[in-house]
């Protein structure tokens, strides 16, 4: 049987002779025959009719290419000829392996390695009508951090395509020019096309070979293989688990959903992993890489790369060059190797369990680790040639060289793994490996550290915790306190002698000048005070703690007891926990969240966010434009600035009462209240800024000094939105879908929210009923179909009269104000689902053929969401937690201006 197929290996495994999973391959018993990145092609003849290998199958040649690009250009490095044999049942290996004896093949080329045997674990990946096996060969397996031998391939996730006698390729092929592939389902010259169940196995797992030129590829559904080839290519992989090779050139790759494998290749590539657990290799060049959602593995490779992990527990390595590595949320690991470059590393202390790890274990050079920055988790690493700086690192794994760790005052609570203790020589002296440099540290009197300034206690895991006078502590993970009893050893490590016991608690838990995480695990207080340790002085109980967080963007979880917390300077997050707590934000953009008790929150200076809790909360905004989330029984006072208030409608208890007072000083546009749900608003007949909101469950909000009350604008679920996949109902769209926008072409959806209103909801609050806009009302074919949107959803209006009256080419008009046009009416009460679509900026999108707005946080609509939706939105877009929100895409006409326009 004649034909050809291609197998592309992905991850690398430790020992194929011990684990007989399908698709493994061992070149010459583990020895590296060829270099990293090279491509090996075996010419195979006489495969069985079903494509499997038999005793009659032979290898008639091997061609080696220096790179995947050389393979595409047919530029060979070595060629071998002769006859090699195949056995499906090699001695001592069992029938789990296929043996290829290549010793009969020789090469005339200088430097060509001598070939011996190849072992392949058979499976579905190795069946198919075939006469060529193509394997990208990687030598440096330790690049993946696995520490395994060279020359092994894992082909379990291989994609294959083959050529049979009929000449059908099963490969969607491009040309040498600039191709657009996969967008319109048009077949290539051989009749192959995307998502037509015409892959080699009858599935939608397509293979694209774009060739030379600046190509654009849209792969769609299925576990696709995309080989972009030379040129500056654009690739949108689509759904499922795809494998993408960018090749040479400056490529733009978006993987979309699924667990994808992405190889950027040569050039300055832009790579977006998006959903799924992705494996991304930037390759040579200055690459831009974003793993996005999922726990991704990312390698920058050579060049000055920009890498972001985003969400999930990432494993990242920048490679050589001056890289910027931003790990994002979760427990992330960033690994450096020798010659790491002048890197900038930023890790975030959000959504963590064990904390972020900076892994230096692969570095054999002697390092200088500088933690004297003064902010917890900040520092730098230098090998004498390169310097990498880092932020928000909780765990530091030292390398195998003789490292020096420099500590400074107020640098917080650190942990070091792999610190090698001195070894005792026969003459009683110590041989020193890793050591500390305390020259930047002082005692409480400002003098250099001396004997008696070091204290030690046992950390929770039994390791030694070293405590210094000015809010600095360090845990030597894996080193017990008993191992540090010899003063001569401490001196060899660069440490002063021990004072003995931890000093007496002063009852105040002090943070540092940096970004501290102060909770029950915090040990950075120089006097040994801890949260909920029975040493509190903030109130009457032993767990009534007093916390002074200090400078920096601190996160404080006060825990049990009636605590008093001062965030002080910086953008702090303060969580009350149990008990009747008092939280002071201080200066900065703070977030204060009440707990289960009757808490009191003071925002202080600047624009703060205050959230009521499970008890009765008193919320005071202070200076700045503050945001409030008001719950059962809460009292909220905005005080100075343009404040905005949201009601936790979904969790309101029946007949509960709340009070909101906006405040009248320091205002520009006034205070605003956003509500949603089956509620009736009644204004005070004497005071137009005061009144009462009553929900259908009897919950009541009393408000005063409120200048504006707003509702939520949005699409209905059946509104059809134009995407790269055609027009799709808004209710079926999801994060990541590419939507046509008027200003920025196709843009990805960053967040989707929805709210379902029953008929009773709308009878109780008739102003929430949707607006019906008949087809053709706004122009010829605009909209194309009858359109149904929420009353405050703004439609785009343009034309000569707009420019004449308002000096703008295009403006936005709320749908409810279009009822002055023939046929536009507010529909009778009936069940409806409203959909919010949000992008990186306020956009104008095509909905049922009419241009209208996307969700804009500046509309203060956050109260129309449940807590999970709001938390997700603020995690993605923290900037919406300020009153200004996002800038509007177009100006909005007032009701008076609308009447002028359509008169």
Residue-wise pLDDT for 399-437, tens only, equals: 777 778 877 766 666 778 788 888 888 888 888 888 888
Is the CB of residue 43 less than 8 Å from the CB of residue 171?
Answer: no
Please indicate, yes or no, whether residues 584 and 522 belong to a single structural domain of this protein: yes
Please indicate, yes or no, whether residues 99 and 115 belong to a single structural domain of this protein: yes
Q: What is the mean pLDDT of residues 579-590?
A: 92
pLDDT value at position 306? 92
Is residue 380 included in any domain, yes or no? no
Residue 759: its H or E element: helix 759-764
Q: Which residues contact 726 (CB under 8 A, 6 or more apart)?
A: none
Residue 818 has pLDDT above 90, yes or no: yes
Q: What is the mean pLDDT of residues 139-167?
A: 30
* Cα 486 to Cα 498: distance, rounded to the nearest angstrom: 10
* Cα 473 to Cα 394: distance, rounded to the nearest angstrom: 12
Residue 702 has pLDDT above 50, yes or no: yes
pLDDT value at position 620? 96
Last residue of some domain: 568, 585, 620?
620
* Cα 560 to Cα 531: distance, rounded to the nearest angstrom: 8
Last residue of some domain: 671, 694, 710?
710
Is the CB of residue 247 less than 8 Å from the CB of residue 233?
Answer: yes
Is the CB of residue 845 less than 8 Å from the CB of residue 851?
Answer: yes
Chain mean pLDDT for the chain: 76
Is residue 542 included in any domain, yes or no? yes
* Cα 201 to Cα 862: distance, rounded to the nearest angstrom: 49
163: helix, coil or strand? coil
What angle is formed at CA 476 by the lines to CA 473 and CA 477, rounded to 5 degrees? 125
* Cα 351 to Cα 345: distance, rounded to the nearest angstrom: 18
832-838 sheet: strands from edge to edge: 751-757, 832-838, 715-716, 787-789, 771-773, 825-826
885: left (phi over 0), alpha (psi -120 to 50) or beta: left
* Cα 718 to Cα 833: distance, rounded to the nearest angstrom: 9
Of 375, 265, 356, residue with least CA distance to 309: 356
Please indicate, yes or no, whether residues 111 and 53 belong to a single structural domain of this protein: yes
Is residue 838 included in any domain, yes or no? yes
Residue 649 has pLDDT above 80, yes or no: no
Of 253, 337, 327, residue with least CA distance to 301: 337
Q: What is the mean pLDDT of residues 457-470?
A: 78
Count up the domains in the chain and report the number.
Answer: 4
Is residue 805 included in any domain, yes or no? yes
Q: What is the mean pLDDT of residues 883-889?
A: 63
Q: What is the mean pLDDT of residues 20-31?
A: 32
What pLDDT band is residue 275 in, cutting at 50, 70 and 90?
Answer: confident
Is residue 759 included in any domain, yes or no? yes
Residue 657 has pLDDT above 80, yes or no: yes
Residue for token pair 């832009």: 270
Q: Where residue 893 sits, what CATH number does that domain have?
A: 2.170.16.10
pLDDT value at position 27? 35
pLDDT value at position 100? 64
Number of Cα atoms under 13 Å in the Cβ half of residue 669: 10
pLDDT value at position 131? 33
Please indicate, yes or no, whether residues 657 and 773 belong to a single structural domain of this protein: no
pTM comes to 0.44
> Which stretch of 224-228, 347-351, 869-873 has the lowest confidence by average pLDDT?
869-873
> Which stretch of 12-21, 180-189, 735-744 has the lowest confidence by average pLDDT?
12-21
What pLDDT band is residue 787 in, cutting at 50, 70 and 90?
Answer: confident
Residues, the chain: 903
Last residue of some domain: 154, 174, 200?
154
Please indicate, yes or no, whether residues 853 and 866 belong to a single structural domain of this protein: yes
Please indicate, yes or no, whether residues 773 and 894 belong to a single structural domain of this protein: yes
φ, ψ (nearest 5 deg) of residue 134: -115, 120
Maximum mean pLDDT: which of 305-309, 391-395, 581-585, 763-767: 581-585
Please indicate, yes or no, whether residues 653 and 798 belong to a single structural domain of this protein: no
Residue-wise pLDDT for 469-507, tens only, equals: 766 778 888 888 888 888 888 888 888 877 654 444 567
What pLDDT band is residue 556 in, cutting at 50, 70 and 90?
Answer: very high
Residue-wise pLDDT for 590-637, tens only, equals: 989 998 889 999 999 998 989 888 788 999 999 999 989 888 889 999
Residue 309 vs residue 168, higher pLDDT: 309
Residue 527 has pLDDT above 80, yes or no: no
Is residue 770 included in any domain, yes or no? yes
Please indicate, yes or no, whether residues 723 and 863 belong to a single structural domain of this protein: yes
Residue 196 vs residue 271, higher pLDDT: 271
Beta bridge partner(s), residue 154: 24
Residue for token pair 């879908």: 737
Residue 324: its H or E element: strand 324-326
Q: What are the C-alpha distances in Å from 209 to residues 173, 193, 412, 614?
A: 5, 12, 53, 59
Residue-wise pLDDT for 30-73, tens only, equals: 333 444 456 666 676 765 544 445 666 677 777 777 765 676 67
Residue-wise pLDDT for 506-515, tens only, equals: 678 888 888 8
Please indicate, yes or no, whether residues 575 and 654 belong to a single structural domain of this protein: no
Is residue 656 included in any domain, yes or no? yes
Residue 883 has pLDDT above 50, yes or no: no
Residue 872: its H or E element: helix 867-876
What pLDDT band is residue 795 in, cutting at 50, 70 and 90?
Answer: very high
Residue-wise pLDDT for 106-139, tens only, equals: 899 988 877 765 544 333 333 333 333 333 333 2
**3-state SS string over 505-534?**
CCCEEECCCCCCEECCCCCCCCCCCCCCCC
pLDDT value at position 77? 85
pLDDT value at position 578? 86
Q: What are the C-alpha distances in Å from 369 to residues 377, 406, 416, 573?
A: 12, 6, 11, 29
pLDDT value at position 698? 85
Q: What is the mean pLDDT of residues 751-766?
A: 79
Domain span including residue 795: 715-901
**Where are the strands (E) in 632-671, listed by range?**
635-637, 644-647, 657-661
Is residue 553 included in any domain, yes or no? yes
Please indicate, yes or no, whether residues 32 and 71 belong to a single structural domain of this protein: yes
Residue 272 vs residue 198, higher pLDDT: 272
Please indicate, yes or no, whether residues 99 and 137 belong to a single structural domain of this protein: yes
Number of Cα atoms under 13 Å in the Cβ half of residue 251: 37
Please indicate, yes or no, whether residues 704 and 800 belong to a single structural domain of this protein: no
Provide the percentage of residues in the chain whose pLDDT is more than 70: 75
What pLDDT band is residue 6 in, cutting at 50, 70 and 90?
Answer: very low
Provide the percentage of residues in the chain whose pLDDT is more than 90: 15
């Amino acid at each position: 049987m004649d034909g050809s197929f291609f197998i592309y290996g992905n991850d690398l495994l430790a020992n194929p002779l011990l684990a007989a999973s399908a698709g493994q391959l061992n070149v010459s018993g583990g020895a590296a025959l060829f270099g990293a990145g090279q491509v090996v092609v075996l010419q195979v003849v006489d495969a069985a009719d079903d494509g499997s290998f038999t005793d009659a199958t032979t290898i008639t040649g091997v061609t080696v290419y220096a790179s995947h690009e050389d393979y595409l250009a047919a530029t060979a490095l070595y060629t071998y000829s002769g006859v090699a044999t195949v056995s499906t049942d090699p001695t001592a290996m069992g029938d789990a392996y296929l043996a290829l004896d290549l010793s009969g093949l020789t090469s005339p080329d200088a430097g060509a390695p001598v070939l011996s045997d190849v072992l392949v674990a058979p499976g579905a990946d190795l069946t198919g009508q075939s006469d060529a096996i193509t394997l990208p060969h990687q030598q440096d397996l330790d690049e993946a951090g696995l520490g395994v031998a060279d020359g092994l391939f894992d082909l379990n996730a291989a994609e294959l395509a083959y050529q049979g006698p009929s000449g059908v390729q099963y490969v969607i092929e491009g040309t040498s020019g600039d191709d657009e592939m996969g967008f319109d389902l048009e077949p290539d010259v051989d009749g192959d096309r995307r998502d037509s169940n015409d892959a080699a196995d009858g599935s939608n797992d397509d293979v694209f070979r774009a060739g030379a030129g600046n190509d654009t590829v849209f792969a769609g559904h299925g576990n696709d293989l995309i080989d972009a080839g030379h040129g500056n290519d654009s690739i949108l992989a689509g759904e499922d688990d795809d494998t993408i090779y960018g090749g040479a050139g400056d490529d733009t790759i978006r993987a979309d959903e699924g667990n994808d494998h992405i190889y950027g290749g040569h050039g300055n590539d832009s790579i977006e992993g998006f959903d799924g657990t992705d494996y991304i290799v930037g390759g040579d060049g200055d690459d831009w890489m974003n793993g996005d959602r999922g726990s991704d593995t990312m390698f920058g490779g050579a060049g000055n790369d920009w890498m972001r992990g985003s969400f999930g527990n990432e494993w990242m390595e920048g490679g050589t060059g001056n890289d910027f590595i931003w790990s994002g949320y979760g427990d992330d690991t960033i690994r450096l190797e020798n010659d790491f470059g002048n890197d900038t590393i930023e890790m975030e202390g959000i959504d963590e369990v064990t904390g972020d790890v900076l892994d230096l274990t692969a570095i054999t050079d002697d390092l200088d680790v500088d933690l004297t920055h003064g902010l917890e988790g900040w520092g730098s690493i230098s090998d004498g040639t390169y310097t990498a700086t880092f932020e928000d690192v909780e765990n530091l794994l030292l390398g195998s060289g003789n490292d020096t760790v420099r500590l400074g005052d107020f640098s917080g609570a650190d942990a070091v793994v792999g610190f090698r203790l001195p070894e005792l020589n026969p003459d009683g002296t110590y041989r020193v490996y890793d050591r500390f440099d305390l020259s930047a540290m002082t005692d409480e009197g400002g003098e250099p550290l001396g004997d008696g300034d070091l204290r030690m206690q046992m950390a929770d895991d039994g390791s030694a915790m070293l405590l210094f006078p000015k809010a600095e502590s360090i845990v030597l993970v894996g080193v017990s306190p008993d191992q540090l009893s010899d003063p001569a050893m401490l001196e060899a490590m660069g440490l002063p002698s021990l004072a003995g016991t931890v000093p007496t608690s002063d009852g105040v838990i002090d943070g540092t000048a940096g970004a501290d995480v102060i909770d029950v695990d915090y040990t950075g207080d120089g006097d040994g005070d801890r949260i909920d340790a029975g040493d509190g002085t903030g109130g009457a109980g032993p767990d009534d703690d007093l916390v002074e967080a200090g400078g920096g963007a601190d996160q404080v979880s006060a825990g049990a007891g009636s605590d008093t917390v001062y965030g002080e300077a910086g953008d702090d997050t303060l969580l009350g926990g149990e008990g009747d707590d008092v939280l002071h934000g201080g200066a900065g953009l703070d977030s204060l969240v009440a707990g289960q008790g009757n808490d009191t929150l003071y925002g202080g200076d600047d624009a703060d966010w205050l959230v009521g809790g499970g008890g009765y909360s008193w919320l005071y905004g202070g200076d700045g434009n503050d945001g409030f989330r008001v719950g059962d029984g809460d009292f909220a006072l905005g005080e100075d600035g343009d404040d905005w208030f949201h009601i936790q409608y979904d969790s309101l208890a029946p007949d509960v009462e709340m009070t909101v007072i906006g405040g009248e000083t320091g205002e520009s546009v006034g205070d605003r209240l956003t509500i949603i749900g089956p509620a009736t608003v009644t204004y005070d007949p004497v005071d137009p800024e005061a009144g009462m909101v009553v929900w259908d469950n009897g919950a009541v909000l009393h408000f005063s000094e409120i200048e504006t009350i707003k509702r939520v604008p949005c699409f209905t679920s059946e509104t059809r939105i134009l995407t790269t996949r055609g027009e799709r109902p808004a209710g079926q769209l999801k994060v990541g879908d590419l939507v046509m926008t008027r200003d920025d072409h196709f843009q990805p959806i960053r967040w989707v929210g929805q709210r379902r209103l029953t008929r009773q909801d709308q009878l109780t609050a008739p102003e929430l009923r949707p607006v019906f806009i008949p087809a053709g009302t706004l122009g010829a074919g605009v909209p194309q179909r009858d359109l149904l949107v929420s009353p405050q959803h703004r439609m785009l209006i343009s034309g000569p009269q707009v420019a004449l009256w308002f000096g703008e080419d295009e403006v936005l008009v709320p749908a409810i104000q279009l009822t002055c046009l023939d046929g536009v009416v507010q529909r009778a009460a009936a069940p409806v689902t409203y959909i919010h679509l949000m992008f990186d900026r306020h956009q104008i999108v095509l909905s049922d053929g009419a241009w209208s707005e996307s969700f804009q946080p500046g509309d203060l609509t956050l109260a129309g969401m449940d807590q999970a939706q709001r938390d997700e939105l603020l995690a993605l877009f923290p900037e919406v937690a300020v009153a200004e929100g996002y800038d509007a895409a177009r100006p909005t006409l007032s009701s008076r201006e609308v009447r002028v326009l359509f008169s």
